[in-house]
Amino acid sequence: MQDEAIHQVLALVAEDCRQWQIPSVSVIAEEFRSAFHVLVSCIISLRTKDSVTASASARLFQRAATVEDMAALNVGEIADLIYPAGFYRNKAAQLQAICNRLITEFGGQVPDDLDTLLTFKGVGRKTANLVLTLGHGKPGICVDIHVHRITNRWGYVTCSTPDQTELELRAKLPNQYWMTINDLLVSYGQHRCFPVNPACSCCRLTAWCGKVGVVRHR
C-alpha cells in the first residue's frame, strides 16, 4: 500500500464500521468520561471477548465506581465481579494494586503520561495508549492485535510485533488518525478482516491490500 492511500482506505473503513458496535472499552469511555474507568475496563478486556468485558466492567463499576471504592475490595471480591474475564484472578490482583498505588502516589488520579502509565504492573503499551487517547484525550496510537494484523496485511507497515507496529505507525500514520485507528480496525477485524479466512469478497479495500500472509479467504 502506498502511503498516500491511507486516507482513502481509512475513510472506507470508517464508512463500513458505522454498521457495527464500537469496542466495549470505547463505549465505557463515552459513558463515564474517566481515565480510571478506561484503565480498569481495558485491563479486564485483555484476552477477553467484548461482550464479557462489557458485563464484567458493569458489575465492577456498579459495586465500586471510584478508585477508593475499588481499593477497599479484596482481591477475591474483584475476581468474583469480573469473572469470567480471562485470567480474572490475576487481573483482580493487578486492579487492586493499581488502585492502591493511584491513591498513595497520585492522589487517586490516573497519570496522563505514557512512561508513567507503563510503570504500573499489568499495563502495557496498548492499555497505556488507550488511557491516553480515550481517558485523557491526548495523542497516542493504540495497537492491539487487530491493528497489528491488518496494517501489516495491507503492507502499510512491515513489523513482527504490535510494539514495532506502533512505532512504525507513529513515524508514518497521519496524526489525524492516531486516536481513531484502534476503534476502526478492531471493528473491521472482528467483522470482516478476520485473522483466518478474511472476507475479502465483500471488502472494498482489495485494490490497496497486499494480502500479506493471507493463505485463503472467502
- Give pLDDT tens digits for 32-78: 999 999 999 999 999 999 999 999 999 999 999 999 999 999 999 99
| Count of CB atoms situated within 10 Å of the CB of 109 | 12
38 CB-near residues (< 8 Å, 6+ apart): 25, 28, 29, 32, 130, 131, 134, 135
Rounded CA-CA distance 99/97 in Å is 5
CATH classification (class only), 3-20+141-202: mainly alpha
pLDDT score recorded for residue 1:
83
- Virtual CA dihedral for 73, 81, 95, 61, nearest 10 degrees? -80
Q: For the chain, how many residues are written?
A: 218
pLDDT score recorded for residue 61:
98
pTM metric for this prediction: 0.91
pLDDT score recorded for residue 125:
95
Given a cut of 90, whether residue 3 has pLDDT beyond it is: no
- Phi first, then psi: give them for residue 113, nearest 5 degrees: -120, 130
56-79 burial, b if ≥16 CB within 10 A, otherwise e? bbeebbeebeebeebbebebebbb
DSSP character at residue 135: I
Tell me where in the chain the CATH 1.10.340.30 domain(s) lie. Answer: 33-136
| CATH match of 33-136 with 1.10.340.30 | yes
Tell me where in the chain the CATH 1.10.1670 domain(s) lie. Answer: 3-20+141-202
Cis-peptide, bond into residue 84, ω within 30° of zero: yes
